[in-house]
Amino acid sequence: MTHTVHPYAHRLGIIRDWKSRWFAGDKKSYRENIVVDEKIRAFLSKKLRGSYVAAIEIERSAAEIRVVLHTARPGLVIGRSGENAGKLRKELTDVVRKVAPNHNRSVKLDIVEIRQPETNAAVVGYMIAEGLEKRLPFRRVLKGTVEKVMAVREVIGVRIVISGRLGGADMSRTEQIKKGRIPLQTFRANIDYAHVEAKLPYGQIGIKVWIYLGDTFSEKEMPSQPARPAAARSASTR
């Protein structure tokens, strides 16, 4: 019997870290922190749709909540002279206080730019969703996206699956495209995964993206250089 495991959760503690990093002293604060994290992520995902926000990380200390946004379009999030970022931080503070009225921590917002958008599965998913929402043919969107992703040197493999009423058909179906290899069962395989939805007049289309960026080794596990053959050694000493 087989079952599907999320590629990110499958590698937690091995090559991936948790996206919420904090410690709760009791059950009440633990429940409250989980609800606050969920509200923050839901608010930012809705507010910044179209800004290519790939990940939202949340850290807590005794004095503040630190929210880290990873985005491919930092200019849209920050705004002119940081105007949008300041407004967004105030709105986040209101969201936190609405859920937890006794909350006295300040909210800090950090914005991190994604240097290579084509290597990030969430950003690639947003690109596909944008193309589908513009009513472009889905096969052309998939082929163009795969070629763009595979053109990046670090990418070894990519797989994209879309499902729904493709092309406005009466019956939903699933289409996929794959290039290269995606070793899902290898723990040290650096596989980025994302699930994005495109909102169309005739329904939503689900988009799943896997991108394989090679294996991640620790310093102890770095593969050593293979020993040179005896004939090659003798030839080099002459």
Report field, pTM of the whole predicted structure over 0.95:
no
State the pLDDT at residue 218.
65
Residue 49 DSSP symbol: T
Per-residue pLDDT tens digits for 136-193? 999 999 999 999 999 999 999 999 999 999 988 999 999 999 999 999 999 999 999 9
CATH superfamily of 117-215: Ribosomal protein S3, C-terminal domain (3.30.1140.32)
Identify the CA nearest to 198 among candidates 135, 106, 121, 114.
135
Q: CB–CB of 59/105 below 8 Å?
A: no
Identify the CA nearest to 188 among candidates 13, 39, 58, 49.
13
| Domain chopping of the chain, boundaries | 9-113, 117-215
Domain 9-113 has CATH 3.30.300.20: yes
Per-residue pLDDT tens digits for 13-33? 999 999 999 998 889 889 999
